[in-house]
Amino acid sequence: MKQVRSLFIGMMIGVMLTSACARFGGSGATATPAPTVVPTAAPSPTPPVAVPVSPVLGLPSGTDGLPWWNDAVFYEIFVRSFYDSNGDGVGDFNGITAKLDYLNDGNPATTADLGVTGLWLMPIFPSPSYHGYDVTDYFDVNPDYGTLADFRHLLAEAHKRGIRIILDLVLNHTSDQHPWFIQAEDTASPYRDFYIWSDADPGYRGPWGQKVWHRTGWGYYYGIFSDRMPDLNYNNPEVTAQMDEVVKFWLTDMGADGFRLDAAKHLIEERALQAHTQSTHQWYKQFRPYYKGLNPQALTVGELFGDSPTILASYTSGDQLDLAFEFGIANAFLAAAQAQIATDLNGTLQDSYGRLLPGQFATFLTNHDQNRAISLLSGSADKAAVAASLLLTSPGVPFIYYGEEIGMLGQKPDEDLRRPMQWSADAQAGFTTGSPWRTPDSNYALANVAAQFADPASLLSHYRALIALRSEHAALRVGSLNLVHANNPGLFADLRLSAGEAVLVLVNLTSDPIADYALTLDQSALAPGAYAAASLMGSGPFAGLTVVDGGGFKDYQPAESLPAYGTIVIQLQK
């Protein structure tokens, strides 16, 4: 059933650092004034108030005692680029609503939809930039995207189909055009202390060598990303009180299901220490009971780029954030698919799985700040399919960047990573009837939804099949990770075990069939005995397996040969 439904790594890190320094730019929406709030002197934060929360129709709270998000597959959408409903060249909320049945039609009996059960919307707030990461009003939506009523309609229609929606929330900074900052330039303004000021330049630079202190006629202000994105001062309790109101508005008044927290590690600086400070961790420890009090099922997922599993665990051990994006695993998925070698991937997966709470990390291939997956994979649809198999059969909560499922290309600059979704070979890729905000990529005539929709060999069909398989089999969603030695570096193999299911995953990373392999596992939670091998994906029949005491097996070869770039998923039945 549906769940209602090492060269390479260095290159990707360089791409992300470049993006972090260049987030601003472009012209965008007209700013809507924020609600006027006159701060008082260091008030005590308002205690969180618990409110009843109705579960989304048809979605369970979670399999095997894990949270609901471990049963989900998320899809990241840049609203401006997904689908334009009114011909103005800009994607909008109504455009997403019109395409919900492509994402998930809510009917478990159908198989034509992609089957995702969560959406992450990149910033939807008013902003002077095209991307929205510099907010001018946290209590409204970008008029280019529609109205609050349009957003409510999108949310209601998504929930009908069992799709939850999380919003990109930029807590770290605002736009320099936010009314708070405009007023803060007055040294006597009550908003002055909403930001971080110094009479003289403190002299230090940012984590990637960038300028972080910016001069005005009223002193220097701190902005880690740019002078157009001044950082908020969370040492001022009134800033926290204001952002609590923002969170309350979107969770309770509007009904969103959680947040992706941008630049999560940079929230509170301790002078030249500008990431992972104890003050940042303490703030999240206070934030968690607040947002869980509003909605116990609300999800937070943090952007913690380039950090080790140990650092991720310091945020996701149960008292701060729910999830963090695991960039190391994403890099390893793509590196394995490109190099056609599983060795480094095995080590990365094992390290993360051993240090993080079970499944409490977010996996992906690329996102809006990175060159697109297929562009990093030499344009190969076969390698893209392999990467998808690794992503969607592995532990964690998978996130798919829009267009990844049809092989959209995209390389820096950032605008070209965020081009319009390619729906068809029609003019402007079927994205708009008008003039698009950004010209679609030239490959849209071949790489589009309509061309791949009914082709069982297409990348889109592969994604649909993988998502359906994950939705139908608990072992793939919440099962433990047991890496299997394959005796061949071109073959990735693991055993996923849930409370009631055992699934063996084999992915041939290479362009040739593999016949020289033997699968060995020292130990696992599998009960000893004989198992039949039922095919879930890939052509069988497959040989049965004998498990010895301790849950291990040796020299297992379920098939004489594994097809080039093939994905084999076998259910072991006792």
Length of the chain: 574
Q: Are 63 and 359 within 8 A, CB to CB?
A: no
Burial class (CB in 10 A: 0-12, 13-18, 19+), 412: middle
Number of Cβ atoms within 10 Å of the Cβ of 438: 16
Q: Are 493 and 553 within 8 A, CB to CB?
A: no
Distances in Å between the Cα of 394 and the Cα atoms of 37, 221, 361, 558 are 46, 44, 11, 20
**Does residue 157 have an active-site annotation?**
no
Number of Cβ atoms within 10 Å of the Cβ of 368: 21
Q: Are 260 and 322 within 8 A, CB to CB?
A: no
**Does residue 84 have an active-site annotation?**
no
Structure tokens at 98: 């019109």
Report the run of H or E that residue 570 belongs to, with start and end: strand 567-573
The rounded Cα 452 to chain-centroid distance in angstroms is: 24
Q: DSSP per residue over 509-557, as a string?
A: -SSS-B-S--EEES--SPPSEEEEEEEEESS-----EEE-TTS-EEEE-
Burial class (CB in 10 A: 0-12, 13-18, 19+), 22: middle
In this structure, which amino acid lies at residue 157?
Answer: E
Name the pairing type of β-strands 491-497 and 529-537: unpaired
For residue 415, what is the DSSP state?
H
* Cβ contacts of 458 within 8 Å, gap of 6 or more: 406, 451, 452
* Cβ contacts of 291 within 8 Å, gap of 6 or more: 247, 251, 298, 300
Query: Which residue, 500, 433, 507, 513, is CA-closest to 473?
Result: 500
Edge to edge, the sheet with strand 213-216 lists 197-198, 219-222, 213-216
Structure tokens at 271: 């002078």
CA atoms within 13 A on the CB side of 49: 6
Query: Which residue, 176, 191, 257, 159, is CA-closest to 223?
Result: 176
Q: Are 159 and 56 within 8 A, CB to CB?
A: yes
What span, in angstroms and rounded, lies between the C-alpha atoms of 321 and 283? 11
What span, in angstroms and rounded, lies between the C-alpha atoms of 482 and 551? 11
The neighbouring-strand residues paired with 485 are 520
Select which of 303, 322, 441, 494 is catalytic: 303
* Cβ contacts of 359 within 8 Å, gap of 6 or more: 66, 70, 395, 396, 397, 478
Select which of 113, 134, 238, 262 is catalytic: 262
Burial class (CB in 10 A: 0-12, 13-18, 19+), 181: buried
Residues with catalytic function = 262, 303
